[in-house]
Amino acid sequence: MLGNLTGWHLVIILVIVLLLFGATRLPALTRSIGQSVRIFKKEVRDDDSTTSSTTGSTSGVHTDESPVTPSASARRDADTTP
């Protein structure tokens, strides 16, 4: 859908935005959008680094992989099963 956008479409969109917000508020609007994008990128970067450090710390956890033996009652139940 966005692949069909040509230069004229962008000019028309720019004129509509200019009419809606006015020339005086347009710099403040673009500044606000820029700040929002920077904050979003920073949070994504921080989240990625937090995720990778959390994942790396769990790899050092020792798990006990000794075989589990059934209890005496479980063995007795298994023997009496028809």
DSSP secondary structure of 10-57: HHHHHHHHHHHHHHHHHHHHHHHHHHHHHHHHHHHHHHHHHHHHHHHH
pLDDT in tens, the chain (82 residues): 567 878 899 899 988 988 888 888 888 888 999 999 999 999 999 988 877 776 655 555 555 666 666 666 666 666 565 5
pLDDT at 4: 81
pLDDT at 40: 95
**Domain limits, the chain:** 25-51
